[in-house]
Structure 1
Amino acid sequence: MKNETSQDDAQVTVGRAWRLEWRALRLCWRLRPAWFVATVGDALMKAALPYATIWFSARLIDELAGARDPARLRMWVLLILAVGAALGLAAAVFARWRDAEDEAMELVARQQVTADKLSTVDFPILDDQRTSDVVAHILQSDRMAGKGLRNVTLTFGRALPGIFQITGGAALSVGLFTSPVPGTPDAGWLVALNHPMAGAALFALLIADVALSSLCYAKSSMVWFRFDDMGRFGNRVFRSFGLLFRDRRRALDLRMYRQYERVALPFWKTNNTFGVHAKSYRMITRVMGPLAALSAGVSALPVGVIYAFVCLKAWGGAFGVGAVTQYVGAITTMFAGVHTVLNQAGEIRANGPFLQRLFAFLDTPNTMYQGTLTTEKRSDREYDVEFRDVSFRYPGAPEGVWALRHANVKFRVGSRLAVVGENGSGKTTFIKLLCRLYDPTEGQILLNGIDVRKYRYDEYMRIFAVVFQDFRLLALPLGQNVAGSASYDPALAARCLRDADFGERFASLPHGLDTFLYRELDPDGVEISGGEAQKIAIARALYRDAPFIVLDEPTAALDPVAEAEIYERFDRIALDRTAVYISHRLSSCRFCDEVAVFDHGRIVQTGTHDQLVADRSGKYYELWHAQAQYYA
């Protein structure tokens, strides 16, 4: 998986670009088939309406230039109105349907595909910074230049009308080449237009013109790939600093230290990729702009050539004035379709590197072993978990740098285990391994004597409820945050909030469990403090009712008194659950049956609080008295 533009990206061949486009279209069809139906119908109606108007108008003009029969004139007028109204109504219906489907497909193309992949990849892949970089690159390329999967839907939507224009135009312009100029003395040299080479020359000239125009368009579009890295950096600068003054969370620092005008604004001005003096701007104005202008100018030339050829044949007597209207309209529209299709072919070529990057990410394989055993449903919650000589090194870490080394510990059912140690000692890594977010590099983790890798992954994870140190709540109703679901048991959610010491605040909320947290989605939402958020997160863990509950420093935002109250209360409500506490404040260890002391990735001590604090040579004694001096 790559996180930067590479030579491989730039060397996507035309054939590979088309294969990637075809794969992307199949993906879009699988995700939203209704969008295809709406798009095809809309394109068909858009092509049919002008051609129907051209054909019926030609018949009406012929009648006006000929017999002028009132009955036939009335018939043609009524047909023009009826067909125009029917096709116009159908076009409006399909256009409205397609607009709605485009909105849905835009969400699918820009968000759902990457979100679906991120939700299913192994956690080690998700936790890898390279994955974050790749996804950011994919999304920024889409937002900046419209490249990637979204470009596939746009190209398809633009090319289809062109294909229908070519088909309809070819059908209505056959007579232009099959209607000969009469061999009369008045025709003179115009009889030469009957020769097959005249029509072939006309087509060759038009095709050459359209091909040149499309080539210029494709070259112009390819500049986007050269601009991609510069534009990506520019977007990051803008997102970081351009709207900094709107970030309420930074308002205090910005005001106190004048960070916006003194730091952010100068950096933004110096690194503004989209400024008129930037290299990227020169690339657009000196390369992309002239090529696009040349493409537009060249594409206008065929109109004059078509008018000249049709009018000359009409002057020679090959057909009447009504046919002139039909042929000029038909062949002009047909070559406009050819121009559109060739332009979109150039878009497909230019979009190839972006699709290759997307599919390289989507094809990233999961490597964690997925077992098939089901975890036994036990009403007594007696799940025996053991770490047996477990060592772990993070992917990409230097050789010999271990996050955890030779860890041996066995959880007693229904016990309270405190995990303590300095920052970087391996505590959070220990929890990630316990929950099987990662697998051990060496050793085994056993559940009821069986390697946890042999269990079904989803079932194994259900026996844990975790409050991580960097947990997040959603800007959704309180009840949904507690349950982790749109549907939930209100009575249970309310009880869990009270058990987590959120009862008093809960009673004051205007809409109870239906109260929105924060104000992103509801102007009446409530802003909660860090301590209140942690209580809600603990309530969420209680709601899950898992046999193992893990608190990874969940009380960091609380004062020591509030923390002690939380732990005392939690010790009562945990009941027969096996609980694991991680905390920097060692006062929590008083409530635990056992304490595991981590230091530089190893478990260096185990025992009760009283046993460990009595060992003056141990790490726990050092940590305990380092904190105790601040409370003495």
Structure 2
Amino acid sequence: MSDTNTETNAENDGLLQAWRYQLRACGLWWRMRPQWFVATVLDALLQAAVPYATIWFSAQLINELAGRRDPAALKSWVILILATAVVLTLAAAACHHWKAAADDTIELDRMTVVSDKLMDLDFPVEDDPRTFDTVSNIEQNENFTGKGLPSTQTILEQSLPAVFQIIGGIALSVSLFTSTVSADAGWLAILNSPWFALAMVAVLVGDIMLSTACYVHGDHYWVDYAEYGRFGNRIFRFFGMLFANDKRAMDCRVYGQFERVAIPFFRANNMFDLHSPALRRIFGPMSRWIALSVAVNTMLIGIVYVFVCLKAWGGAFGIGSVTQYVGAITTMFTGLSALLERIGDMRNNVPFLKSVFDFLDTPNTMYQGSLTTEKRADREYDVEFRDVSFRYPNAPADAWALRHVNLRFRIGSRLAIVGENGSGKTTFIKLLCRLYDPTEGQILLNGIDIRKYRYDEYMHIFAVVFQDFRLLALPIGQNVAASAHYDRARVTDCLEKADFGDRLATLPRGLDTSLYRELDKNGVQISGGEAQKIAIARALYRDAPFIILDEPTAALDPIAEAQIYAKFNEIAGDKTAVYISHRLSSCRFCDDIAVFDHGSIVQFGTHDELVADAAGKYHALWHAQAQYYAK
């Protein structure tokens, strides 16, 4: 008995959770697009009203034809039917058009729900591989099964017409159970018994419940298949477009990777193939349960016809009312069946919505600060690392990325950060820009812990060109300004300073020329060096007091990298500039050089001072690399 109660409680809890999630999703749609919500409700109302109006008016017309056959009454009914049909049809068409237009806008809004949250997260959370996996799973679920947020829209859109169908059906079919057969109808008089009417309702409801249970059980197989589907979708997205990936084209051509590796792997792991064990194990039973649901639902129509015809045979109502009652009851129970199925969909959607809402509920823990960052015309911002240590989240206790770092920037100076790969150079920049907070120690801006400054204002004192910078497939001007609206003269000036002026002059559309061809067939393909110049122009356009180059030229040879750094040094002006490189020749011109090794600053000084220290790390690195840049 206790096991039964436990199962019942779990079922009720699951239904309550499903309702809570569905209502929360509806709240999202209402806040984002209330006009879509209104259009959906009106569209559903008219969807239900049109067939019921047809049913009721048709019944009255048939009753008149089978009864008095009064020409004036027939004329009135015909005019009323036509007028009502025209008004309702036009209203339904207009509302459906409105709903279709609103659907396009809500689709875009739905896609931004997760992306907006992702951009709002603290960077350490966003940078966590588990976050990437969560977002990827949400996307895969939506694309493969439509489960998650898309399903809540479908449930709402299909539930509302069902509710209106039930209400209309009840209104038009109540008289079926209250009308009585004539006294001389013989054994048909049993139809007048209220117990018979209750039994009939019970049979119809039981039929619907059984049909719905079969449907929900079949639909639940999507939950079991979700993990297979996500994996299959990832494989399809990667291997399905491998041949069109220009970054992999040369490897695929030279090594035959597409035919020899990609195709065999894809065929062996294609979860969507009809012979896939997972697909056969899931879709076979699913199809049988869904088919059984349809078969049981079809029995409902037969039961309704028998009951209505028997009452008509007994003289309870005319032939026209047969049309009304059959149409009303079948439509009503179709709505009830649809509503129960949507409730089942809500329950099956719980695991998918849970992952969405758990992600949306991810808290931000980084303190955003409240102090206003001082806007100094002289750009004299004093930044100091004071005994800073950092360990990435979820890293082992002894896995320090930085350890006891002490460094103070000289205002307006050129600082080079050098060291081998993995020595902590990029982590140092992440802390400087407050993408992460130190695990230990402090970073000070003008003597105040940077955590006390407003987060958004503090970040604006830095312009960074990261080693894996990205440009968008949008016009050059928008790429440089990082905005759809910008100062064209200022953008042009930044591009010229970044040595992109000659290339810009060759472009027929100038700043309006799109980069790449993903979105514009007339877009231009640019080289790696040209992309770096545009990225540097973007950093210049921001006009921040600190400007940082984090190995953006790592793919170039040492001489080309040194040329870009030297050019950038000329245009940095009075900004405090930080250059990060694992190649020492590029940073000889800097005022100071900080040498990183295993997360610590092991040397600090000028190039001449460091290279003269034969026992130092810098001396060893310099002579190891000298063969690449010696004249």
1:256 aligned residue (254, 257, 261): 254
2:129 maps to what in 1? Answer: 129
- Shift in Å, 1:559: 3.9
Kindly report which structure 2 residues correspond to 1:368-379, keeping only aligned pairs within 5 A, or say none: 368-379=366-377
- Shift in Å, 1:346: 0.4
1:3 maps to what in 2? Answer: none
Evaluate the alpha carbon distance shift between residue 137 and residue 308 of structure 1 in structure 2; reply closer, same or farther with a 3 A threshold.
Answer: same
Q: Is residue 498–residue 534 contact of structure 2 (8 Å, CA) maintained in 1?
A: yes
Residues 321-348 of structure 1: CA deviation (Å, up to 9, x unaligned): 1111111111110000000000001000
Residues 371-412 of structure 1: CA deviation (Å, up to 9, x unaligned): 100001110000000000000000111111100000000001
Q: Which moved more, 1:268-277 or 1:85-94?
A: 268-277
1:360 maps to what in 2? Answer: 358
Kindly report which structure 2 residues correspond to 1:503-518, keeping only aligned pairs within 5 A, or say none: 503-518=501-516
1:490 aligned residue (488, 501, 517): 488
Evaluate the alpha carbon distance shift between residue 147 and residue 12 of structure 1 in structure 2; reply closer, same or farther with a 3 A threshold.
Answer: farther
Q: Give identity over the alignment, percent.
A: 65
Write the distance in 2 (CA, Å) between the matches of 1:358 and 1:217. Answer: 25
1:148 maps to what in 2? Answer: 148
1:429 maps to what in 2? Answer: 427
Q: CA RMSD in A?
A: 1.4
Write the distance in 2 (CA, Å) between the matches of 1:314 and 1:591. Answer: 102
2:567 aligned residue (546, 566, 569): 569
- Shift in Å, 1:603: 0.3
Residues 199-252 of structure 1: CA deviation (Å, up to 9, x unaligned): 111110111010011001111111111111111111111112122222232221
Tell me, which stretches of 5 or more residues in structure 2 are unaligned? 1-9
- Shift in Å, 1:310: 0.8
1:328 maps to what in 2? Answer: 326
- Shift in Å, 1:11: 12
2:6 maps to what in 1? Answer: none
- Shift in Å, 1:359: 0.8
Kindly report which structure 2 residues correspond to 1:436-475, keeping only aligned pairs within 5 A, or say none: 436-475=434-473
Write the distance in 1 (CA, Å) between the matches of 2:211 and 2:324. Answer: 25
Evaluate the alpha carbon distance shift between residue 12 and residue 124 of structure 1 in structure 2; reply closer, same or farther with a 3 A threshold.
Answer: farther
Matched, 1:76 2:74: no
Equivalenced residues, count? 621
Q: Which amino acid aligns with 2:217?
A: K
Give the match's secondary structure for 1:446: strand
Matched, 1:20 2:18: no
Write the distance in 2 (CA, Å) between the matches of 1:629 and 1:260. Answer: 38
1:536 maps to what in 2? Answer: 534
Q: When the two structures are superposed, what TM-score results if normalisation uses the length of structure 2?
A: 0.97
Give the match's secondary structure for 1:173: helix
Write the distance in 2 (CA, Å) between the matches of 1:584 and 1:226. Answer: 49
Write the distance in 2 (CA, Å) between the matches of 1:272 and 1:597. Answer: 50
Residues 460-503 of structure 1: CA deviation (Å, up to 9, x unaligned): 00000000001100000000000000000000000100111111
Evaluate the alpha carbon distance shift between residue 560 and residue 631 of structure 1 in structure 2; reply closer, same or farther with a 3 A threshold.
Answer: closer
- Shift in Å, 1:70: 1.6
Q: Which moved more, 1:96-105 or 1:317-326?
A: 96-105
Give the match's secondary structure for 1:630: helix
Give the match's secondary structure for 1:474: coil
Matched, 1:97 2:98: yes
2:86 maps to what in 1? Answer: 85
2:391 aligned residue (390, 393, 398): 393
Q: Is residue 501–residue 566 contact of structure 1 (8 Å, CA) maintained in 2?
A: no
Q: Which moved more, 1:518-527 or 1:74-83?
A: 74-83
Write the distance in 2 (CA, Å) between the matches of 1:356 and 1:285. Answer: 24
Give the match's secondary structure for 1:249: coil
Give the match's secondary structure for 1:248: coil
Kindly report which structure 2 residues correspond to 1:207-226, keeping only aligned pairs within 5 A, or say none: 207-226=205-224
- Shift in Å, 1:516: 0.3
Kindly report which structure 2 residues correspond to 1:31-180, keeping only aligned pairs within 5 A, or say none: 31-109=32-110, 111-180=111-180
Write the distance in 2 (CA, Å) between the matches of 1:566 and 1:314. Answer: 93
- Shift in Å, 1:12: 7.3
Q: When the two structures are superposed, what TM-score results if normalisation uses the length of structure 1?
A: 0.96
Q: Which amino acid aligns with 1:70?
A: P
- Shift in Å, 1:10: 12
Q: Is residue 418–residue 588 contact of structure 1 (8 Å, CA) maintained in 2?
A: no
- Shift in Å, 1:517: 0.3
1:5 maps to what in 2? Answer: none
Write the distance in 1 (CA, Å) between the matches of 2:336 and 2:170. Answer: 11
Q: Is residue 567–residue 591 contact of structure 1 (8 Å, CA) maintained in 2?
A: no
Write the distance in 2 (CA, Å) between the matches of 1:352 and 1:537. Answer: 44
Q: Which amino acid aligns with 1:360?
A: D
Write the distance in 2 (CA, Å) between the matches of 1:426 and 1:162. Answer: 61
Q: Is residue 558–residue 628 contact of structure 2 (8 Å, CA) maintained in 1?
A: no
Write the distance in 1 (CA, Å) between the matches of 2:433 and 2:256. Answer: 44
Q: Which amino acid aligns with 1:424?
A: G
Q: Which moved more, 1:66-75 or 1:100-109?
A: 100-109
Residues 181-216 of structure 1: CA deviation (Å, up to 9, x unaligned): 1212xx111111111112111110111010011001
- Shift in Å, 1:158: 0.6
Write the distance in 2 (CA, Å) between the matches of 1:98 and 1:74. Answer: 36
Write the distance in 2 (CA, Å) between the matches of 1:630 and 1:532. Answer: 23
Write the distance in 1 (CA, Å) between the matches of 2:437 and 2:226. Answer: 37
Kindly report which structure 2 residues correspond to 1:572-583, keeping only aligned pairs within 5 A, or say none: 572-583=570-581
2:194 maps to what in 1? Answer: 196
Write the distance in 1 (CA, Å) between the matches of 2:629 and 2:443. Answer: 39
1:313 maps to what in 2? Answer: 311
1:407 maps to what in 2? Answer: 405
Q: Which amino acid aligns with 1:369?
A: Y
Q: Is residue 21–residue 350 contact of structure 2 (8 Å, CA) maintained in 1?
A: yes
- Shift in Å, 1:349: 0.6
Evaluate the alpha carbon distance shift between residue 461 and residue 12 of structure 1 in structure 2; reply closer, same or farther with a 3 A threshold.
Answer: farther
1:182 maps to what in 2? Answer: 182
Q: Which amino acid aligns with 1:292?
A: I
Give the match's secondary structure for 2:220: helix
1:6 maps to what in 2? Answer: none
